[in-house]
Structure 1
Amino acid sequence: MPSTLIITNDFPPRTGGIQSFVHGLAMRRPADSVVVYCSTPGPKWGDATAFDVRQPFPVVRESTSVLLPTPGVLRRAQNIARLEGCDSVLFGAAAPLGLFTPGLRRAGVERVVGLTHGHETGWSALPAARQTLRHIAEQVDVLTYLGDYTRQRLARAIGPAAAARMQRLAPGVDTERFHPDAGGAEIRERHGLGGRPVVVCVSRLVPRKGQDTLVRAWPRVLAEVPGAVLLIVGDGPYRGRLRAMAERQGVADSVVFTGSVPAEELPAHFAAGDVFAMPCRTRNGGLDVEGLGIVYLEASATGLPVVAGASGGAPDAVADGETGLVVGGDWPGPTARALIRLLGDPVAAAEMGERGRAWVRSAWTWEAASQRLEGLLTGS
């Protein structure tokens, strides 16, 4: 059977939305029709070898932490494609590895699909990077996009011919894994949260995600909802500054930092909350932007109302006013008002969560994403 070679820097056990997206697509391909070529994450992400042997397909890793478009990496990708009989390639992120497309075609690859996320929209704003992105788009058969925002940004950068071949491919959500009874009570007990109102944020701790906006909004939330707890799940370079900010705001005793948690515990951490919030914002003049925000959909699948920032494609993951609320993430006021509204009316918040789960189950399924990818890889 012809195989698909997935070439990616974004793959577990390193965690993140792109990693989950690419892995989810790989897992839903026939096991004997996929081989993954990827980088090796650092030890903080866990044992990559142990992860790889559990997969139903072969995983070939470079010893480096990042695959770059170098001749050596291309030669290895070509060798894998020849040895495995790969007739198609899926780039986990089109830029910059999509530059390998001509070389892979020389190795017998007939069909090439490049995924895009949020960072490619940043590339589209920089002249040199925009030229590289345009070159990649002209070489691949299909460049995918997550939603209307990313399509519009990319289409302006890559030119009309390549833009005409763009196709939407967004991730799905495993609603059997993310559901309201996923073990939230255990997480609440672990952190001593009891029955207190909990706002949960699950994400990397970086400025774009807006955890600082949550911390700055928290005094106002506590004034209206005494006893509320902000549960910040994840780790990243912003952690120290966020802790210091919570101390300065005088809310450190009601802000819980869990640090990194195992992937298998993520559903339980979502389920520990009453409201999910990540007021992301666009930074650096549009270079740092949210592509979609799979965490909003995972929260909805768990039955939580969501508060999302109005950055890039993030609003595509929220039915504003139905499954959650979209706010500007640059200032704490809008976030505080949204949280107070949801925490202050648990019945209405629960109804939002129910609508969110129903929406995810109907519109954001892995089955639909897998079928879509099959069509893109075969050209049908």
Structure 2
Amino acid sequence: MSAGRRILVVSRWDVRHPSAGGAERYLHEIARRWVADGAEVTWVVTRPPGAAAREVVDGVEVLRSGGSWGMFPRTALRLLRRGARYDAVVDGTSRMCFAVSVITGRRVPVVQVVHGVPRLAPAQRFSPTSAVGRFLAGPLARWTRGDRAIAVPSVSSRHELRRHLGFRGPIFVVPPGTTPERGRPERTAQPTVVVVAPLVPEQRLDLLLTKLAPVVARVPGLRVEILGEGPELSRLRGLAADVGVADSVTLHGRQPDEVRRTWLRRAWLTASTATADACGCTVVESAAHGVPHVCLAVPGVRDFVRDGRTGRVVETADRFGDTVEGVLADLTDPELADRTSAVCRAWADRFDWDRAARLLADVVTHQIGAVRSKRGGTGQRRYARSDIATVVRFPDGAAPAVAGLLRATDEVVVSDGQVGVLLNGCDEFDALGVLDRLGVHDARISLAGRDDLLVGPLPLPASLTGEPTPPSRSDRPVGTFTRTSRG
């Protein structure tokens, strides 16, 4: 983020809210890196009981508003209406895009960050309230947003926005990062599943407990450790007793970062039954500790699990418990567990918070340029072709000058003499024109795939490509769990 730029971030919670999860950590890790680069970031959120109205967290000014959820967008709008000058607004609420233009009376660059597209249950789809909500989130939202840029952490989340909400403007993929963990795992002697999630309905932890109940009965000594806080806590404790897993499941509540990392080092496996979680922070963090992940095949989460290598993606909830049991059985093999841990870490190493901050800053720069171009000034404008991207890999040793010749949202990566470029909004034919401007004529060109968008334009190591290695044996019949772990 350019030094001196002022950014207003708006979301429901900040990273210190009791119910904060991956979405809040995502925004916080990016915002604090923008501050480190010299930007000024103000973050407006709701105020939980006992929290300060204003606090500086890692250089980010956090303003908290009391009252209902609807209060805090008005706080942000008051800042803008009273003349506070921000170069751009980063909206994590889906509420600000239309309101900023209407209430302030001027066009302010807005980038929306979307972490999930919740699905309505059948009983909700025809209620008057949901009908209004669908209109606000669908046709009206599309009309008011126009070509405003949206950032999502995963490729499948972008597909959901196109398919279910009909968004036509530019949507850029900005994956989360992680912090490398170099310490050796301290895996417990007994099989342990660690779940890190806010205790909110979207995480479907009730489904997790229900599906793990028969697994607890069949796997000797199985422990399930759930770290997180939220309104579902008392209900989940009651459900654990009702399904007979209270002696095997511990709901720890919200824990400090170091405690969370300690539990991940001890874990055999992490798991998720979330239905609208697109952030992927927890999945990548567990992989950084060498811990595989089992999840439902929902948008967002599934993008961050390499099925058969760093965990399993389960197509239906009915198979979730059996899959967890099978993976735990696989991990009783010490050699297989070590290989799985190494592959998980190699995958996590491809995700970097500095890159995430840079990519989202580029989207902000793109949107500022789009607004300026509408005012008649200069700036780069990109239309709804952002779903198309091309990877260009230069010959070894080639390092052409690219300054001023690429768009703000194009990504250049240099590593060990290799140069890769991700050209957003370009097909292979358009990429040839870019290479002509760069004076390069023997580069390799290919359309970008999911991996290129998630981890960048350089190739993945062999351990993460090809047939799944280590081999998965988690389709073995239920009831064949054996313990050969070293502990």
TM-score band (shorter)? 0.7 to 0.9
More moved, 65-74 vs 302-311: 65-74
Aligned mate of 1:42, from 48, 51, 68: 48
- Say yes or no: does 1:327 pair with 2:344: no
Aligned to 1:246: 240
Give the deviation of 1:220 after TM superposition: 3.8
TM-score (norm 1): 0.80
Report 1:2-151 matches (<5 A): 2-14=5-17, 15-31=20-36, 32-43=38-49, 47-48=51-52, 52-64=55-67, 66-68=69-71, 73-79=76-82, 82-83=83-84, 85-93=85-93, 95-103=94-102, 106=105, 109=108, 111-119=109-117, 126-138=134-146, 140=148, 142-151=149-158
| Distance in structure 2 (CA, Å) of the matches to 1:179 and 1:66 | 40
- SS of 1:58 mapped into structure 2: strand
Question: Amino acid of the residue matched to residue 101 of structure 2?
Answer: P
Preserved contact between residue 173 and residue 297 of structure 1 (Cα < 8 Å)? yes
Aligned twin of 1:212: 206
Distance 2:39 2:10 in 1: 14
Residue 73 of structure 2 contacts residue 96 of structure 2 at CA under 8 Å; is this kept in 1?
A: no
**Counterpart amino acid of residue 278 in structure 2:** G
Matched-pair contact (CA < 8 Å) for 2:138–2:165: yes
Q: Which amino acid aligns with 1:151?
A: R
The TM-score with structure 2 as length reference comes to 0.64
| Distance (whole Å) between structure 1 residues aligned to residue 41 and residue 136 of structure 2 | 32
Q: Which amino acid aligns with 1:92?
A: G
- Retained in 2: the 8 A contact 1:130–1:158? yes
Match of 2:347 in 1: 359
Indicate if the aligned counterparts of 1:303 and 1:354 stay in contact, CA closer than 8 A: yes
Residue matched to 1:188 = none
Residue aligned with 2:66, SS: coil
What's the CA shift for 1:255? 1.6
Output the CA distance in 1 between the equivalents of 2:163 and 2:285.
31
Residue 143 of structure 2 is aligned to residue 169 of structure 1: no
Q: Which amino acid aligns with 1:129?
A: A
CA separation of 1:214/1:114 partners in 2, compared to 1, >3 Å: closer, same or farther?
Answer: closer
Residue by residue over 1:234-287, the C-alpha shift from the partner in whole angstroms, topping out at 9 and shown as x without a partner, is 23333334333333443322222212223453222222312111233x4xxxxx
CA contact (8 A) 1:219 1:251 kept: yes
Give percent identity, aligned residues only.
27
SS in 2 for 1:231: strand
Greater alpha carbon shift after TM alignment, 370-379 vs 327-336:
327-336
State whether residues 235 and 259 of structure 1, in contact with CA within 8 Å, keep that contact through their aligned partners in structure 2: yes
The whole-number CA distance in structure 2 between the counterparts of 1:87 and 1:106 is: 15
- The CA RMSD over aligned residues, in Å, is 3.1
| Deviation, structure 1 residue 321 | 0.6
Taking a change above 3 Å as real, the CA distance of residues 34 and 139 of structure 1, as seen in their structure-2 partners, is: farther
CA deviations 1:24-60 (Å, max 9, x no partner) are 11011034422224123313xx64468x234313333
Residue identity matched to 2:168: A
Do 1:41 and 1:65's aligned partners in 2 also have CA atoms closer than 8 Å? Answer: no
Instruction: Give yes or no for contact 1:169–1:372 (8 Å, CA) kept in 2.
Output: yes
Unpaired runs of 5+ in structure 1?
186-193, 283-288
Describe the shift of the 1:203–1:113 C-alpha distance in structure 2 as closer, same or farther (beyond 3 A): same
- Structure having the higher helix fraction is 1
Q: Deviations over 1:111-153 (max 9, x none)?
A: 321111114676999344312331343163x112232322122
Task: Say if 1:244 and 1:133 are closer, same or farther in 2 by CA, change over 3 A.
Answer: same
1:315 paired with 2:318, answer no
Q: Distance in 1 between matches of 2:321 and 2:165?
A: 38
Aligned residue number for residue 269 of structure 1: 263
The CA deviation at 1:18 is 1.2
Give distance in 2, aligned partners of 1:209 and 1:373: 26
Structure 2 residue aligned with 1:232, among 207, 212, 226?
A: 226
Question: 1:57–1:203: structure 2 CA closer, same or farther, 3 Å change rule?
Answer: closer
Distance 1:72 1:145, change over 3 A: closer
Once residues 121 and 66 of structure 1 are traced to their aligned partners in structure 2, the CA distance between those partners, rounded to angstroms, is 20
State which structure, 1 or 2, has the greater radius of gyration over its C-alpha atoms: 2
- Distance in 2, matches of 1:99 and 1:247, equals 46
How far apart are the structure 2 equivalents of 1:224 and 1:350? 24
1:189 alignment counterpart:
none
Q: Secondary structure of 1:30's partner?
A: helix
What code does the residue aligned with 1:154 have?
A: L
